[in-house]
Amino acid sequence: MATSAELAARRQLAVPRGVATAYPVYAARAENAELWDLEGNRYVDFAGGIAVLNTGHRNPKVMAAVREQMELFTHTCFQVVPYEPYVALAERLNAKAPFKGPAKTIFFTTGAEAAENAVKIARAATGRSAVIAFAGGFHGRTMMTMAMTGKVLPYKKKFGPMPSEVYHLPFPVADHGITTADSLKALEFLFKADVEPSRVAAIAIEPIQGEGGFYEAPKDLLVALRTICDEHGILLIADEVQSGFARTGRLFGIEHSGVEPDLVTMAKSLAGGFPLSGVLGKAAIMDAAEPGGLGGTYAGSPIACAAALAVLDVIEEDGLLARADAMGARIKGRLEKIALRNDVVAITGIRGPGAMIGFDIVKSRGAYEPDPEATKRVTAAALEEGLILLSCGVYNNAIRILVPLTASDAIVDEGLDKLEASLIKAKG
């Protein structure tokens, strides 16, 4: 068997540098919230494959469903010969829609596909073309979703020009000096200076920003956006790719606000590690596209749909909504104690609903001056401690915690011990 070092050398020759890797270790196996590399080193996984593993690595119920489906068939293409797992999954998600009235769901493969197709559906339903998104938001790496993503580095550098008629608003973050009033004033200005409301098909927003730093969209912003969308016939898209499927203590993050979206994009933890995404929306809107206008060869893979049905079972049967709340309280309580220590790098802004937890690393206590270099030291030290940990944020100074919701308290505490040690090491 190759070593991690040998694979790193082979990778350099075989794989383009445009796909970055957070850590130079190569996975050999994983179980729930633990991962082992080729050398046998064990890691506590606080990344969860970037929010894909809310139900853990190789969840037994998910694996059983996948094995059963694999014995029947692995692919037909739903657009050629359809199958029950696709329909059954759509039915279950429609019943859980975070809005009133009839719902329909279509499946794809990646989060970017979901976001791009949500735009297609919105354009078909409204007859309009413009899209509004938010600074700091992440919607994907395809051309359309890259344009919607509100961060230049590393996502847009060298890839311009972007598709037209995509506009951005500032996202309210108190530590960044931006309020809901600022965002709404910018929208008012946008309507006056760049695009009339009657040409806007949709406003897309993450209820809790992922790559942007795990900042929750203020309820008053979401309420205002709903009112503005209703007034002007604009559709509201909730991007739940990272915040969905129990991570926040709700099936969808936007449920915390009580605001009803028109369309919801889903991916990541939907299928417990298998590639699957989808758009869930109000039935009349979802039916706007002509037959054949939506789909994809691998869209709604029968294996992934079987996995997703099992994921929904696990969320219900294992009580993962309540588990997310309990786990989040445990993590935030520990972080608040760590923040009081003088021998760690300065941390602030401990936040997040459920178990979608983030915090910022700053240069000194009492002032918000981002410290991206210290953040890099923390994630590097975490690897040495045996912890897989991810950073994010507009200023690259946020740490995000995405430990599987199925992890035991003992594993969570072990990971927090390793995180604390990493924060001490990073201070130097």
Note the pLDDT tens digit of each residue in 183-237. 999 999 999 999 999 999 999 999 999 999 999 999 999 999 999 999 999 999 9
Q: Is residue 91 scored above 80 in pLDDT?
A: yes
Same domain for 387 and 312, yes or no, is no
Is residue 68 situated within a structural domain? no
Residues 180/193, Cβ–Cβ less than 8 Å: no
Question: Could you give the C-alpha distances from 314 to 45, 122, 270, 319, 320, in angstroms and in order?
Answer: 20, 32, 11, 8, 8
How far is 115 from 122, CA to CA, in rounded Å? 11
332 and 300 inside one domain: no
* Rounded Cα–Cα distance for residues 237 and 227 (Å): 14
Q: Are 409 and 65 contacting, i.e. CB atoms less than 8 angstroms apart?
A: no
pLDDT tens digits for 156-188?
999 999 999 999 999 999 999 999 999 999 999
The reported pTM is 0.96
Whether 222 and 340 map to the same domain: the answer is no
Cβ-proximal residues to 417 (8 Å cutoff; 6+ apart), any chain: none
The Cα–Cα gap between 56 and 408 comes to 11
Cα-based torsion angle of the residue sequence 321, 282, 89, 204 in order, rounded to the nearest 10 degrees: -60
Give the 3-state secondary structure of residue 355: coil
> Which candidate, 383, 375, 373, 381, places its Cα nearest to that of 24?
383
| Residue range(s) defining the domain that contains residue 167 | 73-317
Residue 366, pLDDT > 90, answer no
Q: Are residues 191 and 101 in the same domain?
A: yes
Q: Are 200 and 131 in contact (CB under 8 A)?
A: yes
The DSSP call for residue 295 is -
- Cβ atoms within 10 A of the Cβ of 4, count? 17
CA distances from 316 to 56, 203, 323 (A): 15, 31, 11
Overall average pLDDT of the 100-124 stretch:
98
For the segment 87-115, the average pLDDT, to the nearest whole number, is: 98
* SS3 call for 164: coil
Q: Tell me the mean pLDDT in the region 307-328.
A: 98
Outline where 318-407 has alpha helix (H): 320-339, 372-385
Kind of pairing, strands 235-239 and 34-37? unpaired
Give mean pLDDT, residues 131-140.
97
Asked, for residue 370, whether it belongs to a domain, the answer is yes
136 plus 47 within the same structural domain: no
Same domain, 110 and 9: no
Based on the domain organization, do 122 and 235 belong to the same domain? Answer: yes
Residue 116 pairs with which residues in a beta bridge?
none
- Dist CA 318 CA 327 (whole Å): 14
Q: Is the peptide bond before 370 cis (omega within 30 degrees of 0)?
A: no
The whole-angstrom separation of Cα 201 and Cα 131 is 6
- What's the pLDDT at 153? 87
pLDDT band at 428 (very low <50, low <70, confident <90, very high): confident
Structure tokens at 160: 């311009």
What pLDDT digit, counting tens, does each position of 4-43 carry? 999 999 999 999 999 989 998 999 999 999 999 999 999 9
pLDDT at 1 over 80: no
- The CATH number covering residue 362 comes to 3.90.1150.10
Which of 266, 289, 317 is the last residue before a domain boundary?
317
Q: Of 317, 333, 356, at which residue does a domain stop?
A: 317
Structure token pair of residue 325: 């709340």
For residue 207, the cross-strand partners are none
> Are 333 and 279 in a shared domain?
no
> Is 421 found in the same domain as 378?
yes
The burial class, CB within 10 Å (0-12 / 13-18 / 19+), for 313 is middle
**H-only helix segments in 140-241:** 143-148, 180-193, 219-232
Res. 241: pLDDT tops 80: yes
Crossing angle of helices 219-232 and 180-193, in 10° steps, is 20
- Where are the strands (E) in 61-186, listed by range? 103-108, 130-134, 166-169
Please identify, among 289, 317, 345, the residue that sits at the C-terminal boundary of a domain: 317
> Are 327 and 284 found together in one domain?
no
C-alpha distances in angstroms, 129 versus 166, 195, 202? Answer: 9, 10, 8
Instruction: Please measure the distance between the N-terminal and C-terminal CA atoms of the chain and give it in whole angstroms.
Output: 37
Give the chain's domain count: 2
* Per-residue pLDDT tens over the stretch 41-50: 999 999 999 9
Do the bridges between strand 263-266 and strand 277-282 make them parallel or antiparallel, or are there none, so unpaired? Answer: antiparallel
Give the helix ranges, DSSP H, for 234-301: 283-286
Beta partners for 392?
A: 398
What would the pLDDT profile of 389-425 be if each residue is shown by its tens digit? 999 999 999 999 999 999 999 999 999 999 999 999 9
pLDDT at 397: 97
Domain co-membership, 387 together with 304: no
pLDDT category of residue 83 using cuts at 50, 70 and 90:
very high
SS3 for 174? Answer: helix
Q: Are residue 86 and residue 186 in the same domain, yes or no?
A: yes
As a whole number of angstroms, the distance between CA 281 and CA 100 comes to 10
Residue in the structure block whose two tokens are 């927003």:
205
- Distance separating alpha carbons of residues 225 and 208, to the nearest angstrom: 15
C-alpha 361: how far from its chain's center? 21
What is the rounded CA–CA span in Å between residue 119 and residue 398? Answer: 29
Element (H, E) at 392: strand 390-392
